[in-house]
Structure 1
Amino acid sequence: MNFLLLGAGASKAYSDSPTGVKMPIARDFFSTFCHLEVSSNPWVLIDGLMDFIVRVKEENPSEFFSKDIDIEELYTEIEENLNLYIGKEATIDRIRAFKSYTQLIFIFSSVINSIQNGPVSRPHSSLAKILSHHDMIATFNWDTLMDRALNVETDWNTDVGYGFLPKSIYRNGWVAPNDTNLNAPQLIKLHGSVNWLSSHPMSPEKDIVLTQESAPDTVWVYENTIEPYPCFAGRYSAGYEDFSYGYYPPNILDDRGRMVDNGHFLVRTRMKLPWVPEGIASDRGLVSIPLIIPPVKIKNYHGYGALFDGLWDNAKKGIERADHIIIIGYSFPRTDLKSNQLFVDAFMNRKNIPYVTILDPQPEKVADKFRLEFGIPNSHLRVIKGYFSDETDICNLLTFMGWN
């Protein structure tokens, strides 16, 4: 069995985007955003983010975004600012802080959806074709490059292919998933995905609370559409390939939303601005948001109930069972302690030593980690210095000569 771990370097392999832009990494995210048409779309909300930069950071937005801003550091600052305002007396300040927190999630997703809105990724397709149904792919990436390649090249599906059963799947309308056996690799997305949806959260006093009536680990999955779908303010954007959508994903129609406490009323309103065109689609249903774990230093996995505990446990079992572990474009950043612990815990449960292949343009630190921290000897470790790309020899990548 092969266990593959895909990092940001794997997504950088996608070179067929109509935008001419490649997937961003932490330090070039905003420069990438500014090169995309979506950055000038009036439906793309950035007022909360601008307010944070001007009011809290006391900087000029144009000058701020001209620098190599580390998105993890910025988002951590935004979260820390949110946590300054707690309790009933902090309502207005907390609303302003929470707006920047949620707007960045939509901005992340719109950047990814814009870039991946083209042909199926060739490197990912080549990989999907050669994998067996025993193999497992885990990824920290939010994009759907691997999802779409598996869907086209194998019998993989969104019904059961993510390691959980979604409540509904949007296939030109919400449909129930089929709980069937999967004759394809399983795809475990450890930080969520732009096509996974949850209800738009609220955070009036302290905790971040989902507005759905369903359990917090409930996931809705977007796959494709032909017709306009209901979304926030009817702002549907056409022209997107499968597994990608415009700034706003479809509203949730099979959840009425959480009930308000006794003595309270729920009011939904929005400001109409003359320079923002009105949407023409329906706006019925519960407003959704991409279900992704934002890039903060302390990640809130528990806000979605047991969902991520189950996914990380699936990945751990995959590492425990794998004969061959393949790391593609993942550098094990120092702040991502959970990924480090994942491998430590899995290797402690193993009775034998797996073979490990590392594909990365700068693999030395990752190779040292497997040698010194995870105890993989040189006889079981192969390092390939290079990028995951169209030129990658997939057959060679999946075959470790140490087995012979």
Structure 2
Amino acid sequence: MANFDIDEVEEGLLGFAWDNLSPIVRAKALENSKKTSWIFGAGASHHYDLNSRGVPVPLANSFFEAFHNLPTSEGLHAFVGPFISFLNHYRGINPREVGSWSEDVELFMTTIEDELNELMTKAKNMELKEDETLKLYSLAGVFTNMTFIFANVLNEAQNGPSPSAYHFLLKFCSPNDTFITFNWDTLIDRALADTGGWDPNVGYGLKFHSSFDSSWKLNIESSPSFNANWKLLKLHGSTNWLVPYTSIRFDKWEMQPLVENSDEVFLFWQSSLPYDTFKGRWRGGYVPTCYGYYPPNLPNDAFDEKRLSAPPGKVFISSSLTGIYSPAKEQRATGIPSSPLLITPVRQKKYDMYQKTIEQLWEQAEGALIESDRIVIIGYSFPATDKRSLTLIKECLEKRADRITLEIVAPDAEGIVSRLGNEYFKKAENVVPISMRFEDYISMLWKNSPTLMKSAARQDKNIKDWLYRIYLLNNIS
């Protein structure tokens, strides 16, 4: 052992050793690395296609293709009627031909919202014509419907084995790093949880009212094996964050939750057994953080009786089609129907709903970016319409002028840098465009694993002793 020279260990064995370090040991070895904030756009999750259909988690321009190829568009387990009806009546798409129709989902939703806002303004001013009234109801229906379609397409696309590119990325992350994402999917959530060093009860930077872990509980039953300081900040919401069912109210022509004045957010983590949901339409077969079209109902005791009661002089009524979704009478489930909390992909993204929740995440993101030595942006195209995100990054670079290295990882990274121009990046210490996909970037990082392993062995005698034993076993002839 005294003569063991780390530099004589072949690189392949060093990479093997780095890969096989436990997450807690690897985190300790990286704890003095530069503090990095990782920012993810849709391109970061697009690599994942381990669901039963082999369909990648979609980008904006491939969303409806994924919708057609996943179970969301098949059968009666997902409610897509308002969407199909709108395409038929206002886009001239025959229901039988929807499978061959596609459009960039951001453009689609922007058009829907623009028309919806225009007609809702007319409705409030009592200026609607008959045909506009019919279109307004259709627009309101499809706008609400799309929130559930978004969530279900993503839940179906990510419903597969847990390992993803995010898992491999975490092998190179300091325990003091922060992860900021504009994505709704939960691939990175699962990757973080799988390390044993991230606790979803506190790791999102949010205080959830309750969490669904087989049943509604105050907290998920979790005992992390070590404490990393990782925070996952999901600035556009998440498919597994739930709020009271939210839709456009026809009496006020405003988007409102079923429970008024509600700012409570609930976390869905996992369930392999049936739970109460709308009309009892539970479906099994989903991995942790994923669920079928209908998420679990929220617990009644989360809200006081006054907020659950009809206003004075009014009563609640409900109606739905019978004999369509099931030949038998559907059950009446307990609890409050829920919606996923998503900031939908429109050109002018709005943050009014659950503003307090979303704002605190943006504030934490700003704080993390300002404290960073390095910012790595993966799979984010810097769209000109996403003004708030662009402003956030630019202002953070300015507040720590010449002290933050910025890496942009995307197939068109050099084009992105060129498009934004020197003015946008002038306060960065260094800008490094890396023109490749996320999974190729992981391969690039992996080439540095022998160097990391050598450094860890030199810093920690226990790691060096372990490497020596692995080295001896490898050289037994």
TM-score, normalised to structure 1, is 0.90
Whole-Å Cα distance in 2 between the matches of residues 139 and 213 of structure 1? 29
Q: Deviations over 1:323-371 (max 9, x none)?
A: 0100111111111111111112222322542011121111123323374
Describe the SS at the equivalent of 1:195: strand
User: Do structure 1's residue 215 and structure 2's residue 215 form an aligned pair?
Assistant: no
Sort the Cα spacing of 1:11 and 1:161 in 2 relative to 1 into closer, same or farther, 3 A: same
User: Do structure 1's residue 75 and structure 2's residue 112 form an aligned pair?
Assistant: no
Sort the Cα spacing of 1:259 and 1:347 in 2 relative to 1 into closer, same or farther, 3 A: farther
Please tell me whether the aligned partners of residues 231 and 281 of structure 1 are also in contact (alpha carbons under 8 angstroms).
no
* Residue in 2 that maps onto 1:102: 144
Indicate the structure with greater helix content: 2
Please tell me whether the aligned partners of residues 194 and 292 of structure 1 are also in contact (alpha carbons under 8 angstroms).
yes
* Residue in 1 that maps onto 2:412: 362
Sort the Cα spacing of 1:98 and 1:397 in 2 relative to 1 into closer, same or farther, 3 A: farther
Whole-Å Cα distance in 2 between the matches of residues 61 and 397 of structure 1? 52
Identify the range of structure 1 (179-188 vs 63-72) with the bigger mean alpha-carbon deviation.
Answer: 179-188
Sort the Cα spacing of 1:283 and 1:189 in 2 relative to 1 into closer, same or farther, 3 A: same
| Structure 2 letter corresponding to 1:241 | V
User: Do structure 1's residue 154 and structure 2's residue 196 form an aligned pair?
Assistant: yes
Larger Rg: 2
Whole-Å Cα distance in 2 between the matches of residues 310 and 370 of structure 1? 30
Query: How do residues 2-401 of structure 1 correspond to structure 2 at under 5 angstroms?
Result: 2-61=36-95, 63=97, 66-83=100-117, 84-85=119-120, 86-87=123-124, 94-177=136-219, 183-202=228-247, 203-204=249-250, 205-212=252-259, 215-216=262-263, 218-253=264-299, 254-256=301-303, 258-274=308-324, 276=326, 283-368=333-418, 369=420, 371-376=422-427, 380-389=430-439, 392-394=443-445
Whole-Å Cα distance in 1 between the matches of residues 349 and 329 of structure 2? 34
Counting matched residue pairs gives 399
Whole-Å Cα distance in 2 between the matches of residues 188 and 15 of structure 1? 24
- 5+ residue gaps, structure 1, are 399-404
Please tell me whether the aligned partners of residues 117 and 241 of structure 1 are also in contact (alpha carbons under 8 angstroms).
yes
| Structure 1 letter corresponding to 2:124 | G
Describe the SS at the equivalent of 1:198: strand
Whole-Å Cα distance in 2 between the matches of residues 233 and 180 of structure 1? 35
Please tell me whether the aligned partners of residues 178 and 368 of structure 2 are also in contact (alpha carbons under 8 angstroms).
yes
Please tell me whether the aligned partners of residues 272 and 286 of structure 2 are also in contact (alpha carbons under 8 angstroms).
no
Describe the SS at the equivalent of 2:56: coil
Describe the SS at the equivalent of 1:302: coil
Percent identity over paired residues = 31
Please tell me whether the aligned partners of residues 425 and 431 of structure 2 are also in contact (alpha carbons under 8 angstroms).
no
Sort the Cα spacing of 1:8 and 1:279 in 2 relative to 1 into closer, same or farther, 3 A: farther
Whole-Å Cα distance in 2 between the matches of residues 277 and 376 of structure 1? 64
Identify the range of structure 1 (55-64 vs 115-124) with the bigger mean alpha-carbon deviation.
Answer: 55-64
Q: Deviations over 1:171-214 (max 9, x none)?
A: 00011138999634100001100000111123222221111256
Sort the Cα spacing of 1:266 and 1:394 in 2 relative to 1 into closer, same or farther, 3 A: farther
**How far did 1:37 drift?**
2.2
Whole-Å Cα distance in 2 between the matches of residues 39 and 362 of structure 1? 32
- 5+ residue gaps, structure 2, are 1-34, 450-477
Whole-Å Cα distance in 1 between the matches of residues 330 and 321 of structure 2? 16
Please tell me whether the aligned partners of residues 236 and 279 of structure 1 are also in contact (alpha carbons under 8 angstroms).
no
Whole-Å Cα distance in 2 between the matches of residues 152 and 125 of structure 1? 8
| Structure 1 letter corresponding to 2:373 | D
Q: Deviations over 1:363-398 (max 9, x none)?
A: 123323374313156x72222221111753335699
Q: CA RMSD in A?
A: 2.9
Q: Deviations over 1:210-261 (max 9, x none)?
A: 1125632x21010001320100110001010001111111000133454432
**How far did 1:53 drift?**
1.7
Describe the SS at the equivalent of 2:233: strand
Sort the Cα spacing of 1:265 and 1:121 in 2 relative to 1 into closer, same or farther, 3 A: same
* Residue in 2 that maps onto 1:402: none
* Residue in 1 that maps onto 2:454: none
Whole-Å Cα distance in 2 between the matches of residues 351 and 386 of structure 1? 27
Sort the Cα spacing of 1:362 and 1:278 in 2 relative to 1 into closer, same or farther, 3 A: farther
Please tell me whether the aligned partners of residues 49 and 158 of structure 2 are also in contact (alpha carbons under 8 angstroms).
no
Please tell me whether the aligned partners of residues 376 and 406 of structure 2 are also in contact (alpha carbons under 8 angstroms).
yes
Describe the SS at the equivalent of 1:338: helix
Describe the SS at the equivalent of 2:353: helix
